[in-house]
Structure 1
Amino acid sequence: MNFSVTDNHFFKETSLLKEEKKGIITHRSPSNIALIKYWGKHGVQLPNNPSLSFTLTNAFTETKLDYQTKNETESKSEISLEFWFENKKNEKFEQKIRKFLESLLPTQPYLGFVHLKIYSQNSFPHSAGIASSASSMAALALCLCDLEKRLLNTLQNTEEFYQKASYLARLGSGSAARSVYSNIPITTWGKTDVVKDSSDLWASPYTLPIHDIFQNYQDTILIVSAEEKSVSSRAGHALMETNPFAKTRYELAHSNLQKLAFALENGDTDTFIEVVENEAFVLHALMMCSSPPFILMETGTLTIIKKIQAFRRETNIPICFTLDAGANVHVLYPNKYKKECLDFIDKKLKPFCFEGKYLKDHVSNQ
């Protein structure tokens, strides 16, 4: 599918832009936590292996886009942008968003026809150590697709609308491709035989059967560190190009996705735990095998992992962990064990969190 609007259709529709138009568009997008990790890319933000993620509920970004068409004398080849984060002008974020929008101009020229004011805020503290790029870029991409829809009368089909939003979000942040689908518990991104019609270009709702035990699955996010990562995810992805274990990793991701699909359908928490923890360990092992190598886990991360695994052995509660590309720990467990797990987290794991911080979240429900 071609999502460019630079063909004749666009230039026919530019007559719509001669009349002044203005409005406000608002979208909210959730964060997500990958169970099958995306690590390594090629081309323009294309994944080297498929990924699968839980869509979260309480951690989200809300973005408001205030737009007004430019007058006839103003340049249509430049981005006009003002950006506010948490009700304050943010030059650093504005530069990042401006660069992103400028990269879209060749294929989305309508962006040059409007003045944009963007207001963004998170439901979670920005300094809490939770990566917000997925939710923020997804919310922005949804706003941009709504803008195109209003200006050019395109994207009337719901599936096409969300596919393009995911496509644009991916160009800003790979994991953001999976965050455009609110209220969808699981999403996948990347071509795989396991999921029909999957694509490297955009993420899709996971349509295979999901056992009841994985409905409303809990994710308590332990903030081990609130400091900026020593190596960015962008740099980490680039290092996969020379990683000696890259080929094996990509093969493993396909295999693990098959196993996880079986576990999700059959309520097999043992296999779920095996795959999810393996994916977390492999992700960080790849970092340590990069050239140069780097470590994003902290001492508290390892201590928490050991305590989770010990608690699981002692209680037979199917609690497990996963890690993003950072030090913080996502503690995953079925809703039926919520009380026991939260008690354990508060008493045994909280002391290893930065300022005792952790966030309670759960997988989105349809």
Structure 2
Amino acid sequence: MITEKDFVFTTITNAIEKGNFQWSAPSNIALVKYWGKKDQQIPANPSISFTLNNCKTITKLAFAKKHFDKLSVTNNRFSFDLLFEGKPKEDFKPKIQKFFERIEKYCPFLRDYHFTIDTENTFPHSSGIASSASGMAALAMNIMSLEKALSRNFGTEMTEDFFYQKASFLARLGSGSACRSVKGSVVVWGNHAEIEGSSDLFGVEFPAKIHENFKNYQDTILLVDKGEKQVSSTVGHDLMHNHPFAEQRFAQAHDNLAKIKIVLETGNLDEFIKIVESEALTLHAMMMTSLPYFILMKPNTLEIINTIWRFRNETNIPVCFTLDAGANVHILYPENVREHVLQLIKGELVGYCQNGNYICDSIGTGAIQIL
């Protein structure tokens, strides 16, 4: 079994002076939700997600070796500039600083370089889509490219499996769900008895063959509220520690993951809909029954849900919804009913979106190296 110690970088090398890498990493949408965590970003329950294709972060990491001298105390600190869409973004820096502090024991070479992190999203910044998963995954991929180069310079060739496992491991320490944005169209994160190779430390590709019904599955994101979340994910997860229904919820997640595993293999869309919608509503039920309690859905969120239910009952078209910890609605459906669902969106649902905004996406394959 892989442990945290396996991810500690021990090679000592000063051979690489400067360079740069660039990766894109996608967002993801959980089907079985992760809500509640332990220390070090360990999930309280396992989760499974679709990796998206179009909603992604593109990050370029330039690095230059710092040269130490006896008079310089600052050289031993993390040194980085952060650009968002080519412009300095100071308010993002504390999160990167915290990320570097968390991963330093696994990547001690971070203190040896000055980094310029230049990042951008393919989706609007204030669209209400969480960019922490795609952003941290893209940064982790770049850091692993540097580690791979350092290892090769020392005469050690890193395996592809290790590269992606550690990238997912590092991404998790930046943002839990980021570990599901590294590799694979369907990713499991968290130990589960029926998922071979599953781990709390990193995400793994779904180990079984996925039914044709789920190939190129569609996700249209209806942007109900593009404002900043009223409750941070960190606060929300922490409220599960003393939640009266926490243990039942964690057991339910294990049970639903076992069920959806069978669904993804057999292609049973009716069961898929039941599990996915139940998970979305359970996530919000846990928020509404915590102390303090909060409601992230908006009236238009409920209007969209009710319209989807009515449409599905009238047409038997297998369309369903899921939700993140916010008001926006992800509409999931097979590619072969795309035109019918887009007609529904354009004809009825767009009016419930802020400024009529929605994003069409589909299932993807994970991070891609650009440079």
Mark yes or no: TM-score above 0.5.
Answer: yes
Which residue of structure 2 aligns with residue 288 of structure 1? 288
- How far apart, CA to CA, are the structure 1 residues paired with 2:125 and 2:112? 32
Which residue of structure 1 aligns with residue 225 of structure 2? 225
| Bigger Cα displacement from structure 2, 287-296 vs 95-104 | 95-104
- How far apart, CA to CA, are the structure 2 residues paired with 1:131 and 1:246? 24
Which residue of structure 2 aligns with residue 56 of structure 1? 52
Deviation at 1:87, TM superposition (A): 1.1
Deviation at 1:192, TM superposition (A): 0.4
Deviation at 1:4, TM superposition (A): 5.4
Counterpart of 1:172 (choices 171, 174, 180) is 174
SS at match of 1:127: coil
CA contact (8 A) 2:66 2:114 kept: yes
270 and 111 in structure 1: CA distance in 2 versus 1, 3 angstrom threshold = same
SS at match of 2:126: helix
- How far apart, CA to CA, are the structure 2 residues paired with 1:325 and 1:6? 31
191 and 21 in structure 1: CA distance in 2 versus 1, 3 angstrom threshold = same
Which residue of structure 2 aligns with residue 143 of structure 1? 142
CA contact (8 A) 1:50 1:253 kept: yes
- How far apart, CA to CA, are the structure 2 residues paired with 1:345 and 1:113? 51
Asked if 1:316 corresponds to 2:316, the answer is yes
- How far apart, CA to CA, are the structure 2 residues paired with 1:167 and 1:6? 8
Which residue of structure 2 aligns with residue 209 of structure 1? 209
- How far apart, CA to CA, are the structure 1 residues paired with 2:65 and 2:211? 48
Q: Number of residue pairs matched?
A: 359
Which residue of structure 2 aligns with residue 278 of structure 1? 278
| Bigger Cα displacement from structure 2, 52-61 vs 71-80 | 71-80
194 and 6 in structure 1: CA distance in 2 versus 1, 3 angstrom threshold = closer
CA contact (8 A) 1:70 1:113 kept: yes
- How far apart, CA to CA, are the structure 2 residues paired with 1:6 and 1:138? 16
CA contact (8 A) 1:34 1:53 kept: yes
Considering Cα pairs closer than 8 Å and 6+ residues apart, tell me whether 1 or 2 has the greater RCO: 2
219 and 268 in structure 1: CA distance in 2 versus 1, 3 angstrom threshold = same
- How far apart, CA to CA, are the structure 2 residues paired with 1:361 and 1:257? 23
Deviation at 1:72, TM superposition (A): 3.0
- How far apart, CA to CA, are the structure 2 residues paired with 1:310 and 1:212? 26
TM-score, normalising length from structure 2?
A: 0.93
Deviation at 1:320, TM superposition (A): 0.2
CA contact (8 A) 1:3 1:164 kept: no
Which residue of structure 2 aligns with residue 246 of structure 1? 246
Asked if 1:268 corresponds to 2:268, the answer is yes
Which residue of structure 1 aligns with residue 37 of structure 2? 41
Deviation at 1:107, TM superposition (A): 3.5
Q: Please show how residues 96-245 of structure 1 align to structure 2 within 5 Å.
A: 96-153=95-152, 156-181=158-183, 184-245=184-245
Deviation at 1:98, TM superposition (A): 1.6
Give ranges in structure 2 of 5+ residues lacking alignment: 367-371
SS at match of 2:118: strand
CA contact (8 A) 1:216 1:365 kept: no
Deviation at 1:78, TM superposition (A): 1.0
CA contact (8 A) 2:52 2:365 kept: no
CA contact (8 A) 1:34 1:51 kept: yes
**Runs of 4+ displaced beyond 4 Å:** 2-7
- How far apart, CA to CA, are the structure 1 residues paired with 2:147 and 2:217? 36
Which AA in structure 2 matches 1:138? A
Coordinate RMSD, CA, aligned: 1.6
- How far apart, CA to CA, are the structure 2 residues paired with 1:186 and 1:66? 31
Deviation at 1:152, TM superposition (A): 3.5
201 and 318 in structure 1: CA distance in 2 versus 1, 3 angstrom threshold = same
SS at match of 1:345: helix
Which residue of structure 1 aligns with residue 26 of structure 2? 30
Deviation at 1:113, TM superposition (A): 0.4
Deviation at 1:194, TM superposition (A): 1.9
SS at match of 1:30: strand
- How far apart, CA to CA, are the structure 2 residues paired with 1:204 and 1:277? 23
Asked if 1:299 corresponds to 2:304, the answer is no
Which residue of structure 1 aligns with residue 369 of structure 2? none
- How far apart, CA to CA, are the structure 1 residues paired with 2:196 and 2:4? 21
Deviation at 1:299, TM superposition (A): 0.5
- How far apart, CA to CA, are the structure 2 residues paired with 1:155 and 1:319? 46
- How far apart, CA to CA, are the structure 2 residues paired with 1:20 and 1:208? 40
Which residue of structure 2 aligns with residue 93 of structure 1? 92
- How far apart, CA to CA, are the structure 2 residues paired with 1:6 and 1:334? 38
Which AA in structure 2 matches 1:40? G
- How far apart, CA to CA, are the structure 1 residues paired with 2:139 and 2:311? 40
Identity %: 48
SS at match of 2:142: helix
Deviations, residues 321-352 of structure 1 (Å, cap 9, x unaligned): 00001000000011000000001011110000
SS at match of 2:293: coil
- How far apart, CA to CA, are the structure 2 residues paired with 1:246 and 1:49? 10
SS at match of 1:126: coil
354 and 155 in structure 1: CA distance in 2 versus 1, 3 angstrom threshold = farther
Which AA in structure 2 matches 1:177? C
Give ranges in structure 1 of 5+ residues lacking alignment: none
